[in-house]
Every structure is written in structure tokens, then in C-alpha cells.
Amino acid sequence: MARKPSTRHSSNKMWGGRFSDRPDAVMEAINASIGFDQKLYAQDIAGSKAHATMLAEQGILSKGDAKAILKGLDTILSEIEAGKFQFSTALEDIHMNVEARLSELIGPAAGRLHTARSRNDQVAVDFRLWVKAQAEAMHGELGRLIDALLDHAEIHAATVMPGFTHLQTAQPVTFGHHCMAYVEMFARDRSRLTDAINRMDECPLGAAALAGTGFAIDRKATAKALGFREPTRNSLDSVSDRDFALEFLAFASICATHLSRMAEELVIWSTPQFNFVRMSDRFSTGSSIMPQKKNPDAAELIRAKTGRINGDLVALLTVMKGLPLTYSKDMQEDKEAVFDSAENLELAIAAMTGMVASMNINTDAMKLAAGSGFSIATDLADWLVRETGLPFREAHHVTGKAVALAEKKGCGLENLSLSELQKLNGRITAAVFDVLSVEKSVASRKSYGGTAPANVKRQAAYWRKQRAKESNRR
């Protein structure tokens, strides 16, 4: 059966009798949010269904009207998901678009749905539901990235590579240890999400416009129906709070920064000059002019997306910074930044997980580089302190002379002769050569959190256990 032409052409009817003139075209354009907040359709319909059910249970709405409303809302949900729903800019937002269509479907009963609520608490619950779902999804996606890093950490617990400061060779570490550093970063990101989810797990529905309502509503019932732990406790804060969105954006910025740091390393490591990793063709691109090129574009795009995600956080902080209680129309600008960050961060995490899981590690190149730049110099200094009793500063000075000598000769510290070393300090014995290798260097770093392969295996096992606990809880 063909649908009748829509009567949803003017928002004045929805506003009531206060306005006699249609809004100016510019006003309509700047005021409308349906172009982006239609993304909240599922949350908006879920909130309306919970509200209608509660009103009926409280005797505020008749059972017949509630039944008609619920059926109409299900129809609207189906229409939207099938791409058959006609969104109207004149109706401003997702709430009024749904309500107008509901009115078409069931008549005057639709007007009773808005009893004891406002668009202020309606959008607050819709947006909070959406952000909460995104946070939970990101939590799972970061878990999969951690799993991919743990796979490498376990395989390469003893694979030596150079550790860097100032992007200069500093001391030998293992590739497994390097991977575990990112496990720690992304685990902190997940922890931030857990905390944020806990704080946003309160339902603002029922706060109405700002002061609550005189109707005998049951806010605990609607909170439970929508999967929240409890209702919010202050009606003013309920409709004006966007901390949950800011926390999500803050998480997104920090997580994107971690992804960007790792992306930068993958870009560097995949160059012929380093040749530490070979990226999968699935996450690389070629050149239109240079047939030999294999560009790590996925990593570069992750690095770039961090800028827009950081910008989204700053944008919403700026929107919120000067707003008096409670709701102001400025807050319509809260959603696009969050939608943008969520979409781009989700892409970045997925791309990084794919790159990490599919990259090949050039262990020979890593080992060769691990011994460059006199990376075992600190091991010589530590040996002098430990075995000869020299103060560290004096041992540092002796080692510096040894480095200068090796540099002049064009060899490594381990290639200096015992007599040459003894000219620098007579207490040096042949036992010093027992520590002058990258493998022995990393094996000696047994302090808690150090790069020793046994430590790396223990830390990987710890995180595997944590991941298993999560799976069991689910």
C-alpha cells in the first residue's frame, strides 16, 4: 500500500502554539540536526519504548495507547533499517521525526508519548546509550589488538633489537619486550574505557526539561529497561552533562596517540634502511610512477587521523566551556565530533590490528642493528661497578674512553683486546667479555619490568591470563 504524502513539513506544529510564523530558511538550516543525529535512531526508539512502557505501568498512559505506541515505534524502526523512512529537515532532529511519523501511524495517541519527558532528557539518554555502546565495542577491539601483540611478544621474547632514545641506539632490548610496551599502553586505554563506562552507566531519562516532572514516573524502571545501572541523581546535571562524551573523546585522543606512535615506528621499521618488518600487501599501497615502491599507507593514515581526533576533543571542550546550566542549543554541536572520532578510531584500531597480525619480522636485521652504536656500553660500565668497585661516574668515564677507542678503530667494544681495555683501567679482566654481547645484555636485565626474555614471557603470560578472565566473565 502506497504511503500518503508526508505532512511532516513544519516544525511549528511540534513546537505548539507559541509561534505563528515559519522559521527562516537560514534558521531552519542552522537549527536542524537530523543530518547527523539520525544515527541515534535505534537509541531514540529504545528510549521511547522504555518510557511508554513505564508510563503504562504507572497508570499515566493507557494500556491501549502504550500498545499502539510500541507497535508504531517498531514499525518506524523497521522503516529506518530498510531505508524507507523519510527524514525531514523541517522537523529538526531524530526525536521529532520519529514522533511525527508515529503520529501518522497511530494518530493522537502518539502525542501522549512525550508526557513527563523533554527533548532535553531524550537526547541525553540517546547520546549516552550510543557512546556507551561505542565504548564497549572499542574495549573489545582493543582486546583483539592486544592479542595480536601478545602473539609476537611470545614468539620474539628473546629476539634482540636496538632500544632507542632520541631515535638513537641506546641499549639492546627484545622485540617481545617492545611489543609488550604497547600492550601496556592499550591496556591503559581499555582501563580508561572501563572507568568511563562505569561513570556513564546512569540514565538521565525522567529529568525532563531540567527540573524533573510532577508525574509519578519510575526512573529506576526505565534505567533498568535501557541497561543502565541506575538513574542519574540530579535533574539539572542530567540534561546538561556531556562528561561522558568528553571522556570518550579524551580516551580516543590518548588511544589515537598510542596508535600513532606505533604507526610511526612501523613506518620507520619498514624502510629499507631499517628493514625490521615487512608489511603485508593487504595494508600497503604502491606508487603510480615508481613500480618498486611499497608504501605503509595504513600506518601513515593512522598517524594522520590522530590530528582530527585530537581536534574533536578540543572542539567539544570549547563548546562546553562557557555554558550555564542547563541545556543550551550549543550542545547540539556535541555529536558530530564524537561520531567522527568513533568512526576514525575504530578504523585505526582495526587497521593496526591487521598490520600487527600480518607483518613479518626480520630477526636478522634486528639482531645486526642491536649491536650497532655501541649499545652494550652501559653493560661495560655496570661490569666495572659490579666487579671492580669503581663509582659509576668513573666507570662511565672509562667506558666513554673505550667507546672513543672503538669508534676510532671502526670496531665494536667486544672487538677491543684485553690489553687495550686494561690500558684504560688496569682492573679489567678477561671476564669482561662475558657481558659484551647483545644477547647477554638483554638476558642480564632481570629487574622487574626489564627486557630479559624470561621477564617478557612472564608478562605475556600475565596478560594472557587477564584476557582469559575477561572471556570467562563474558
Residues that are catalytic: 166, 287
Give the position of cell 555502546.
133
Distance CA 8, CA 450 (A): 66
Nearest to 436 by CA among 365, 355, 394, 382: 382
* Residues 210 and 222: beta-carbon distance below 8 Å: no
**Residue 41 cell numbers, joined:** 535512531
* Residues 36 and 339: beta-carbon distance below 8 Å: yes
Angle at 373 between CA 371 and CA 374, to 5 degrees: 70
Q: What beta strand segments (E) does 130-214 contain?
A: 160-165, 168-174, 202-203
**Residue 339 cell numbers, joined:** 561520531
DSSP 115: T
Torsional sign, CA 26, 30, 31, 32: positive
Distance CA 81, CA 257 (A): 35
Phi, psi of 11 (to 5 degrees): -80, -10
Distance CA 349, CA 151 (A): 17
**Residue 442 cell numbers, joined:** 638483554
Distance CA 416, CA 374 (A): 12
- Classify residue 368 as exposed, middle or buried by CB count within 10 Å of its CB (0-12, 13-18, 19+): middle
Helices and strands (DSSP H and E) totals, the chain = 19, 6
Phi, psi of 172 (to 5 degrees): -70, 140
Nearest to 117 by CA among 18, 288, 27, 238: 238
Q: First-to-last CA distance in the chain?
A: 45
Q: Which residues contact 307 (CB under 8 A, 6 or more apart)?
A: none
Quote helix, strand, coil % in the chain, to nearest 5.
70, 5, 30
